[in-house]
Amino acid sequence: MTTTNHTALVTGASAGIGAAFARHLAANGYSLLLVARREERLKELAAELSAQHGVRCDVFAADLNDPAAPASIMAFAESRGIAIDVLINNAGLSGKTAFADTPWPKLAAEIQLMVTAVTELCHRVLPGMLARGWGRIVNLSSLAAFSPPGESLLYTGIKRYVLDISQSLDMELKPQGVHVTALCPGFTRSEFHDTMGTRDVADKLPGMLWQDAEEVVQEGWDAVMKGKPVCVPGAVNKLVASSVRPLPVKWQYQLGKRMNPFKEGGA
Protein backbone atom coordinates (compact mmCIF):
# COMPACT_ATOMS: atom_id res chain seq x y z
CA MET A 1 0.00 0.00 0.00
CA THR A 2 1.16 3.51 -0.82
CA THR A 3 0.45 5.80 2.12
CA THR A 4 -0.39 9.47 1.70
CA ASN A 5 -0.56 12.47 3.98
CA HIS A 6 -4.05 13.21 2.71
CA THR A 7 -7.42 12.82 4.41
CA ALA A 8 -10.74 12.25 2.68
CA LEU A 9 -14.16 13.28 3.96
CA VAL A 10 -16.83 10.89 2.67
CA THR A 11 -20.52 11.60 3.23
CA GLY A 12 -23.11 8.84 3.09
CA ALA A 13 -20.25 6.51 3.97
CA SER A 14 -22.21 3.79 5.75
CA ALA A 15 -23.26 1.90 2.61
CA GLY A 16 -23.26 1.75 -1.18
CA ILE A 17 -21.07 4.08 -3.21
CA GLY A 18 -19.99 5.96 -0.08
CA ALA A 19 -18.68 2.82 1.62
CA ALA A 20 -17.03 1.74 -1.64
CA PHE A 21 -15.25 5.10 -1.84
CA ALA A 22 -14.10 4.71 1.76
CA ARG A 23 -12.67 1.26 1.03
CA HIS A 24 -10.99 2.41 -2.18
CA LEU A 25 -9.37 5.43 -0.53
CA ALA A 26 -8.24 3.47 2.54
CA ALA A 27 -6.65 0.86 0.28
CA ASN A 28 -4.70 3.69 -1.34
CA GLY A 29 -3.44 5.05 1.99
CA TYR A 30 -5.85 7.92 2.61
CA SER A 31 -6.95 8.72 6.13
CA LEU A 32 -10.71 9.05 6.41
CA LEU A 33 -13.42 11.10 8.06
CA LEU A 34 -16.60 9.07 7.55
CA VAL A 35 -19.97 10.79 7.84
CA ALA A 36 -23.48 9.33 7.80
CA ARG A 37 -26.52 9.08 10.05
CA ARG A 38 -25.86 5.50 11.23
CA GLU A 39 -23.04 5.79 13.75
CA GLU A 40 -22.74 2.07 14.50
CA ARG A 41 -22.24 1.21 10.84
CA LEU A 42 -19.66 3.97 10.51
CA LYS A 43 -17.76 2.61 13.51
CA GLU A 44 -17.81 -0.91 12.08
CA LEU A 45 -16.49 0.31 8.74
CA ALA A 46 -13.83 2.48 10.39
CA ALA A 47 -12.60 -0.45 12.49
CA GLU A 48 -12.48 -2.69 9.41
CA LEU A 49 -10.51 -0.20 7.34
CA SER A 50 -8.08 0.72 10.11
CA ALA A 51 -7.35 -2.95 10.73
CA GLN A 52 -6.94 -3.83 7.05
CA HIS A 53 -4.98 -0.82 5.85
CA GLY A 54 -3.47 0.83 8.92
CA VAL A 55 -5.05 4.20 8.16
CA ARG A 56 -6.65 6.66 10.54
CA CYS A 57 -10.46 6.56 10.37
CA ASP A 58 -12.54 9.09 12.27
CA VAL A 59 -16.33 8.96 12.29
CA PHE A 60 -18.93 11.66 12.76
CA ALA A 61 -22.62 10.86 12.85
CA ALA A 62 -24.60 13.62 11.14
CA ASP A 63 -27.82 14.04 9.22
CA LEU A 64 -27.12 16.31 6.27
CA ASN A 65 -30.82 17.13 6.12
CA ASP A 66 -29.96 19.37 9.07
CA PRO A 67 -28.76 22.81 7.90
CA ALA A 68 -26.27 22.88 10.79
CA ALA A 69 -24.58 19.63 9.76
CA PRO A 70 -21.87 20.94 7.37
CA ALA A 71 -20.58 23.42 9.94
CA SER A 72 -20.67 20.73 12.63
CA ILE A 73 -18.66 18.34 10.46
CA MET A 74 -15.99 20.92 9.80
CA ALA A 75 -15.87 21.95 13.45
CA PHE A 76 -15.32 18.31 14.40
CA ALA A 77 -12.53 18.00 11.81
CA GLU A 78 -10.85 21.13 13.13
CA SER A 79 -11.12 19.90 16.73
CA ARG A 80 -9.32 16.68 15.72
CA GLY A 81 -6.67 18.43 13.68
CA ILE A 82 -7.99 16.93 10.45
CA ALA A 83 -7.28 18.78 7.21
CA ILE A 84 -9.64 17.75 4.40
CA ASP A 85 -7.79 17.15 1.14
CA VAL A 86 -10.46 15.04 -0.57
CA LEU A 87 -14.23 15.55 -0.42
CA ILE A 88 -16.63 12.87 -1.61
CA ASN A 89 -20.10 14.41 -1.59
CA ASN A 90 -22.05 11.18 -1.82
CA ALA A 91 -25.05 11.38 0.52
CA GLY A 92 -28.36 11.40 -1.31
CA LEU A 93 -31.91 10.17 -1.69
CA SER A 94 -34.89 10.55 -3.99
CA GLY A 95 -38.50 11.27 -3.28
CA LYS A 96 -41.07 9.03 -4.94
CA THR A 97 -44.45 10.60 -4.18
CA ALA A 98 -46.31 13.40 -5.93
CA PHE A 99 -44.81 16.84 -5.33
CA ALA A 100 -48.17 18.31 -4.28
CA ASP A 101 -48.76 15.48 -1.81
CA THR A 102 -45.31 15.65 -0.19
CA PRO A 103 -45.03 17.77 2.97
CA TRP A 104 -42.76 20.76 2.46
CA PRO A 105 -40.29 19.76 5.22
CA LYS A 106 -39.57 16.55 3.32
CA LEU A 107 -38.95 18.42 0.07
CA ALA A 108 -36.84 21.01 1.88
CA ALA A 109 -34.76 18.21 3.41
CA GLU A 110 -34.10 16.76 -0.05
CA ILE A 111 -32.89 20.15 -1.29
CA GLN A 112 -30.82 20.67 1.85
CA LEU A 113 -29.17 17.26 1.52
CA MET A 114 -28.29 17.27 -2.16
CA VAL A 115 -28.02 20.96 -3.07
CA THR A 116 -27.24 23.13 -0.07
CA ALA A 117 -25.07 20.69 1.91
CA VAL A 118 -23.13 19.64 -1.19
CA THR A 119 -22.44 23.26 -2.09
CA GLU A 120 -21.65 24.31 1.47
CA LEU A 121 -19.20 21.46 2.06
CA CYS A 122 -17.38 22.37 -1.15
CA HIS A 123 -17.14 25.95 0.04
CA ARG A 124 -15.98 25.01 3.51
CA VAL A 125 -13.18 22.64 2.43
CA LEU A 126 -11.78 24.92 -0.26
CA PRO A 127 -9.76 27.37 1.87
CA GLY A 128 -7.54 24.56 3.13
CA MET A 129 -7.22 22.90 -0.26
CA LEU A 130 -6.28 26.18 -1.93
CA ALA A 131 -3.77 27.03 0.79
CA ARG A 132 -2.10 23.64 0.26
CA GLY A 133 -2.36 23.84 -3.52
CA TRP A 134 -3.97 20.41 -3.82
CA GLY A 135 -7.48 19.02 -3.49
CA ARG A 136 -9.92 16.58 -5.04
CA ILE A 137 -13.73 16.86 -4.92
CA VAL A 138 -16.15 14.26 -6.27
CA ASN A 139 -19.79 15.31 -6.27
CA LEU A 140 -22.31 12.52 -6.84
CA SER A 141 -24.56 13.55 -9.67
CA SER A 142 -26.40 10.91 -11.68
CA LEU A 143 -27.17 9.67 -15.14
CA ALA A 144 -30.49 11.37 -14.39
CA ALA A 145 -28.74 14.70 -14.93
CA PHE A 146 -28.63 13.85 -18.64
CA SER A 147 -32.07 12.28 -18.71
CA PRO A 148 -35.53 13.71 -19.26
CA PRO A 149 -37.17 15.22 -16.18
CA GLY A 150 -39.09 12.73 -14.06
CA GLU A 151 -42.69 13.34 -13.09
CA SER A 152 -42.98 14.76 -9.54
CA LEU A 153 -39.21 14.46 -8.98
CA LEU A 154 -36.83 17.08 -7.67
CA TYR A 155 -34.09 14.50 -8.24
CA THR A 156 -33.36 15.11 -11.93
CA GLY A 157 -33.16 18.88 -11.47
CA ILE A 158 -31.01 18.52 -8.37
CA LYS A 159 -28.58 16.18 -10.09
CA ARG A 160 -28.39 18.50 -13.09
CA TYR A 161 -27.46 21.28 -10.69
CA VAL A 162 -24.70 19.09 -9.21
CA LEU A 163 -23.43 18.34 -12.73
CA ASP A 164 -23.32 22.02 -13.67
CA ILE A 165 -21.86 23.41 -10.44
CA SER A 166 -19.13 20.77 -10.41
CA GLN A 167 -18.01 21.82 -13.88
CA SER A 168 -18.14 25.48 -12.91
CA LEU A 169 -16.02 24.86 -9.82
CA ASP A 170 -13.53 22.79 -11.80
CA MET A 171 -13.07 25.64 -14.28
CA GLU A 172 -12.31 28.02 -11.42
CA LEU A 173 -10.19 25.78 -9.23
CA LYS A 174 -8.16 23.51 -11.48
CA PRO A 175 -5.47 26.16 -12.14
CA GLN A 176 -4.93 26.23 -8.36
CA GLY A 177 -4.51 22.48 -8.01
CA VAL A 178 -8.05 21.48 -7.05
CA HIS A 179 -9.93 19.08 -9.34
CA VAL A 180 -13.72 18.77 -9.20
CA THR A 181 -15.60 15.93 -10.87
CA ALA A 182 -19.31 15.26 -11.22
CA LEU A 183 -19.70 11.48 -11.00
CA CYS A 184 -22.86 10.45 -12.86
CA PRO A 185 -23.64 6.77 -12.27
CA GLY A 186 -26.69 4.98 -13.57
CA PHE A 187 -28.28 2.08 -11.73
CA THR A 188 -25.84 0.90 -9.07
CA ARG A 189 -26.15 -2.14 -6.83
CA SER A 190 -26.56 -0.68 -3.36
CA GLU A 191 -29.13 -0.06 -0.64
CA PHE A 192 -30.42 3.07 -2.40
CA HIS A 193 -33.56 1.47 -3.81
CA ASP A 194 -34.26 -0.38 -0.57
CA THR A 195 -34.10 2.90 1.34
CA MET A 196 -36.35 4.60 -1.21
CA GLY A 197 -38.82 1.70 -1.27
CA THR A 198 -38.39 1.19 -5.02
CA ARG A 199 -36.61 -2.17 -4.98
CA ASP A 200 -39.46 -4.03 -6.73
CA VAL A 201 -39.41 -1.58 -9.63
CA ALA A 202 -35.61 -1.51 -9.84
CA ASP A 203 -35.39 -5.31 -9.91
CA LYS A 204 -37.44 -5.38 -13.11
CA LEU A 205 -34.74 -3.50 -15.00
CA PRO A 206 -32.37 -5.46 -17.28
CA GLY A 207 -29.12 -6.60 -15.68
CA MET A 208 -27.05 -4.85 -18.35
CA LEU A 209 -28.11 -1.50 -16.89
CA TRP A 210 -26.53 -2.20 -13.50
CA GLN A 211 -23.02 -1.59 -12.16
CA ASP A 212 -21.35 -2.54 -8.90
CA ALA A 213 -20.46 0.33 -6.58
CA GLU A 214 -16.77 -0.61 -6.82
CA GLU A 215 -16.80 -0.11 -10.60
CA VAL A 216 -18.43 3.29 -10.23
CA VAL A 217 -15.89 4.35 -7.62
CA GLN A 218 -12.88 3.20 -9.64
CA GLU A 219 -13.97 5.18 -12.71
CA GLY A 220 -14.92 8.22 -10.65
CA TRP A 221 -11.65 8.30 -8.75
CA ASP A 222 -9.61 7.83 -11.91
CA ALA A 223 -11.53 10.72 -13.48
CA VAL A 224 -10.94 13.21 -10.67
CA MET A 225 -7.25 12.31 -10.46
CA LYS A 226 -6.92 12.88 -14.20
CA GLY A 227 -8.75 16.20 -13.99
CA LYS A 228 -11.90 15.13 -15.87
CA PRO A 229 -14.81 17.34 -14.76
CA VAL A 230 -17.51 14.80 -15.71
CA CYS A 231 -17.50 11.03 -15.36
CA VAL A 232 -20.30 8.82 -16.66
CA PRO A 233 -19.17 5.32 -15.62
CA GLY A 234 -19.96 2.29 -17.75
CA ALA A 235 -20.35 1.84 -21.51
CA VAL A 236 -24.14 1.54 -21.37
CA ASN A 237 -24.48 4.71 -19.29
CA LYS A 238 -22.21 6.62 -21.66
CA LEU A 239 -24.38 5.53 -24.57
CA VAL A 240 -27.56 6.57 -22.75
CA ALA A 241 -26.14 9.97 -21.81
CA SER A 242 -24.99 10.71 -25.35
CA SER A 243 -28.24 9.57 -26.95
CA VAL A 244 -30.76 11.31 -24.69
CA ARG A 245 -29.36 14.83 -24.60
CA PRO A 246 -29.94 15.55 -28.35
CA LEU A 247 -33.67 14.75 -28.11
CA PRO A 248 -36.08 17.67 -28.61
CA VAL A 249 -37.39 19.10 -25.36
CA LYS A 250 -40.96 17.94 -26.02
CA TRP A 251 -39.73 14.37 -26.61
CA GLN A 252 -37.74 14.47 -23.39
CA TYR A 253 -40.87 15.60 -21.57
CA GLN A 254 -42.91 12.68 -22.87
CA LEU A 255 -40.11 10.17 -22.26
CA GLY A 256 -39.59 11.42 -18.72
CA LYS A 257 -43.31 11.16 -18.02
CA ARG A 258 -43.33 7.48 -18.98
CA MET A 259 -40.00 6.28 -17.56
CA ASN A 260 -39.61 6.99 -13.86
CA PRO A 261 -38.13 4.20 -11.70
CA PHE A 262 -38.56 6.26 -8.52
CA LYS A 263 -42.28 6.89 -8.87
CA GLU A 264 -44.72 4.87 -6.80
CA GLY A 265 -46.56 2.40 -8.97
CA GLY A 266 -43.70 1.53 -11.34
CA ALA A 267 -41.61 2.76 -14.21
Please write down the long-range contacts of 35-42, taking CB distance under 8 Å and 24 or more positions apart.
Answer: 35/9, 35/10, 35/11, 35/59, 35/60, 35/61, 35/62, 35/64, 35/73, 35/91, 36/11, 36/12, 36/61, 36/62, 36/91, 37/61, 37/62, 37/63, 38/14, 41/14, 41/15, 42/13, 42/14
Least Cα distance to 237 among 203, 193, 192, 187 occurs for: 187
**Torsion angle of the four alpha carbons 255, 258, 262, 267, in this order, in degrees rounded to the nearest 10:** -130
* Rounded CA separation 62/179 (Å): 26
Least Cα distance to 126 among 180, 167, 58 occurs for: 180
Q: Which of 30, 155, 161, 253 is catalytic?
A: 155
pLDDT tens string, the chain, 267 residues long: the values are 556 799 999 999 999 999 999 999 999 999 999 999 999 999 999 999 999 999 999 999 999 999 999 999 999 999 999 999 999 999 998 887 889 999 999 999 999 999 999 999 999 999 999 999 999 999 999 999 998 887 778 999 999 999 999 999 999 999 999 999 999 999 887 655 455 444 455 555 556 567 899 999 999 999 999 999 999 999 899 988 888 766 676 766 676 666 655 555 444
Q: Mind giving me the DSSP string for 216-236? A: HHHHHHHHHHTT-SEE--SHH
30 is catalytic: no
The secondary structure of residue 149, as a DSSP letter, is P
Residues in the chain: 267
Strand segments (E) across the chain: 7-11, 31-36, 57-61, 86-89, 135-140, 178-183, 187-189, 210-212, 230-231
* Rounded CA separation 203/197 (Å): 12
The answer to whether domain 7-258 has CATH 3.30.450.70 is no
Q: Is the pTM of this model over 0.85?
A: yes
Residue 206, SS3?
Answer: coil
* Rounded CA separation 149/132 (Å): 40
* Rounded CA separation 213/247 (Å): 29
